[in-house]
């Protein structure tokens, strides 16, 4: 069986809507992610309002896809839900990747737009969307139906794999078997 490899980020979308069922599947996958101590610190703001989209685009000028795509989801981390200080970032990253994987499974296209730890973006998005201070905007995932099919890129690199000790690296295509010192 082939490994699960993420398809490339999608930056161009058709004008087909993302329906509520698809949004629910994305959220179910995102909330199924692992988290430190099972703290599940996430919240999700679904953005489909056209005016809000263009105001978000003003905050994130390079994210031209926000106004093109039918929906965006802002993942946020609730500081009050932390059991282990600092781990909310890792939890939210795991959740974001789960959401992206589900988008791929559904045949949707998506892109992760950085919010945290860029203070200006965190502040501006939090203010625009009335997010309470203890909830930190983490990542904006823009989602839609891809305008064209994208292929997964095979990025396996055996020089990044170390067997038992650092100096022992794999030299086979799939990374198992022969090793060299």
Ligand X SMILES: Cc1cc2nc3c(=O)[nH]c(=O)nc-3n(C[C@H](O)[C@H](O)[C@H](O)COP(=O)(O)O)c2cc1C
Nearer to ligand X, 97 or 163 (CB): 97
Q: What is the DSSP letter of 160?
A: G
Residue 55 — left, alpha, or beta (φ > 0 → left; ψ -120 to 50 → alpha)? alpha
Restricting to residues 160-179, name those near ligand X by CB under 6 A: none
Residue 114 near ligand X by CB under 6 A? yes
Question: d(Cα 30, Cα 143) in Å, to the nearest integer?
Answer: 14
- For ligand X, the closer of residues 114 and 176 by Cβ is 114
CB contact at 8 A, 138 and 92: yes
- 9 touching ligand X, by CB under 6 A: yes
Minimum CB distance to ligand X, residue 17 (Å): 23
Helix, strand, coil shares of the chain, percent, nearest 5, are: 35, 25, 45
Q: Which of 137, 75, 149 is nearest to 109 (CA)?
A: 149
Number of residues that bind ligand X (CB under 6 A): 8
- What minimum distance in Å lies between the beta carbon of 111 and ligand X? 6
> Applying CB under 6 A, which of residues 33, 71, 74, 111 lies at the interface with ligand X?
111
The CA–CA distances, whole Å, from 67 to 14, 102, 107, 147 equal 12, 22, 20, 14
Residue from 81, 112, 169, 179 binding ligand X (CB under 6 A): 112
Window 120-149: residues binding ligand X (CB under 6 A): none
Report the residue from 73, 108, 110, 113 that binds ligand X according to the rule CB under 6 A. Answer: 113
Cα-flanking dihedrals φ and ψ of residue 23, to 5°?
A: -60, -45
Query: How buried is 44 (Cβ within 10 angstroms: 0-12 exposed, 13-18 middle, 19+ buried)?
Result: middle
Of the candidate spans 47-55, 79-87, 111-119, 129-137, the one that interacts with ligand X by CB under 6 A turns out to be 111-119
For ligand X, the binding residue among 5, 8, 16, 28 (CB under 6 A) is 8
Q: Where does this chain bind ligand X (CB under 6 A)? A: 8-9, 62, 111-114, 153
């Amino acid at each position: 069986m082939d490994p699960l490899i993420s398809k490339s980020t999608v930056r161009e979308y058709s004008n087909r809507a993302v329906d509520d069922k698809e949004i629910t599947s994305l959220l179910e996958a995102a909330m199924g992610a692992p988290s430190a101590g099972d703290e599940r610190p996430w919240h999700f703001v679904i953005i489909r309002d056209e005016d809000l989209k263009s105001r978000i685009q003003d905050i994130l000028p390079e994210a031209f896809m926000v106004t093109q795509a039918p929906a965006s989801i802002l993942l946020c981390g609730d500081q009050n839900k932390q059991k282990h200080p600092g781990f909310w970032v890792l939890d939210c990253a795991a959740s974001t990747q789960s959401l992206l994987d589900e988008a791929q499974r559904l045949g949707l296209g998506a892109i992760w737009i950085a919010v945290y730890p860029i203070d200006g973006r965190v502040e501006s998005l939090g203010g625009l969307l009335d997010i309470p201070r203890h909830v930190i905007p983490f990542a904006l995932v823009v989602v839609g139906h891809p305008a064209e099919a994208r292929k997964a890129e095979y990025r396996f690199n055996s020089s990044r794999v170390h067997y038992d000790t650092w100096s022992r690296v794999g030299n086979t295509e799939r990374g198992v078997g022969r090793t060299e010192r």
